Amino acid sequence: MDKVLVIVGPTGIGKTSLSIQLAKAFHGEIISGDSMQVYDQMDIGTAKITKEEMEGIPHYLVGIQAYDKPYNVKIFQEKARESIQIILQKQKLPILCGGTGLYLKAALYDYVFEEETFDEAYTKYLETLNNDQLYDLLKSKDPLSCEKIHPNNRKRVIRALQIVHKGPSKSQREALQEHKPLYDIYFLGLDMDRGLLYERINQRVETMFEQGLVQESTRLFQDSKTWNYTSFQGIGYKEFRPYFEGTETLNMVKENIKKHSRQYAKRQYTWFKHQMPVHWFDKEDPQIMTKIREWYDGK
Residue whose C-alpha is closest to residue 292's, from 10, 16, 27, 12:
27
Please report, in angstroms and rounded to a whole number, the separation of the first and last CA atoms in the chain.
15
Q: Is 235 annotated as a binding residue?
A: no
Residue 149 and residue 138 in contact, taking contact as beta carbons nearer than 8 Å? yes
Q: Is 12 annotated as a binding residue?
A: yes
- Indicate the residue type of 272: F
Residue 137 and residue 160 in contact, taking contact as beta carbons nearer than 8 Å? no
Q: Is 31 annotated as a binding residue?
A: no
Torsions phi, psi for 282 (to 5 deg):
-65, 140
* Pairing outcome for strands 93-97 and 28-32: parallel
Torsions phi, psi for 283 (to 5 deg):
-60, -20
At residue 280, the 3 state secondary structure works out as strand
Q: Is 13 annotated as a binding residue?
A: yes
Residue whose C-alpha is closest to residue 237's, from 262, 220, 255:
220
- Indicate the residue type of 230: T
DSSP 8-state symbol, 232: G
Contacts with 153 (C-beta within 8 Å, 6 or more apart), sequence order? none
Residue 114 and residue 169 in contact, taking contact as beta carbons nearer than 8 Å? no
Residue 79 and residue 104 in contact, taking contact as beta carbons nearer than 8 Å? no
Length of the chain as a residue count: 299
Distance, CA of 266 to chain centre: 14
Q: Is 15 annotated as a binding residue?
A: yes
Q: Is 181 annotated as a binding residue?
A: no
Q: Residue ranges for the binding site for ATP? A: 9-16
Query: Residues forming the annotated binding site?
Result: 9-16
Residues flagged as binding site for substrate:
11-16
